[in-house]
Amino acid sequence: MASSEALTTTGYIKHHLQNLTFGQHPDGTWGIAHGAAEAKAMGFWAIHLDTMFWSVFLGALFIWVFRKAAVKASAGVPSGLLNFVEWVVEFVDDNVRGSFSHKNDLVAPLALTLFVWVLLMNTMDLVPVDWLPELAKLMGIEYMKVVPTTDPNATFGMALGVFVLTVFYSIKVKGIGGFTAELTMQPFAAKNPILKILFLPANFFLEFVSLVSKPVSLSLRLFGNLFAGEMIFILIALLFSGGAVLFIAGGVLQWAWAVFHILIVLLQAFIFMTLTIVYLEMAHSHH
């Protein structure tokens, strides 16, 4: 951690919650932010380099492992890696078949990518909080957050991608007229033309809020659960500097929370995948 923050509990927490941010300084120069104030001053277009690095690295790891298994696939008895990959693919495929009733060759690969990618990013939360940041510090990197899903920029980015696909297929399958009708002709319906017109504003408001809430809830659910888990790990890590008794208590609590957090890591990846499938199912369905 930064030397100025090393002696305070607040400084320790702030340091572990600070992203490695690159952007434009108020004087017009570009560079790395040295603290939360500088990162905030960089504005909307600042880039979290640690989030970008770990998300791309884990995505590349996913592609490499699954490609390696695909290349080695044969009609004989599968190896351990191939057996695991087949199990993951079958698990995702069963969920797609159970929740998606239409024909779209994109949905299953998308669900597989989101599930494994989010799972890998979530799993980084099980790495002890000081290991990788301290290693980065030895390399001259002041800040390093290693869990991309604790950054709302990453979760909102994925959720917006799902949202764009949802709107795209809603318009492609139902047409502009059908998509517009979904936003204006429900939930309040009437046979009287005058009442239909009167219901249009209320229907549009309710359906528009429902539509926009999908990416917001999808992203905030993932971010909130992983951020809370990371915060608990950070608070537990503070116990290790409080003497022998607190050191032992911290070790027990860290182990217990890590075991429980495995469920959260898996569950949040599964929920993100499942909601994506459900949203695409709704986009393909006519009301």
Catalytic residue numbers? Answer: 217, 221, 225
Instruction: Give every strand in the sheet of 47-48, ordered side by side.
Output: 30-32, 21-24, 47-48
Buried b (16+ CB within 10 A) or exposed e, 242-268: eeeeeeeebeebbeebbeebeebbeeb
Cα end-to-end distance, the chain, whole Å: 55
| C-alpha span between 251 and 233 (Å, rounded) | 11
Maximum distance among all Cα pairs of the chain, rounded to whole angstroms: 77
| C-alpha span between 267 and 229 (Å, rounded) | 13
Q: Residue 67: CB partners within 8 Å, gap ≥ 6?
A: none
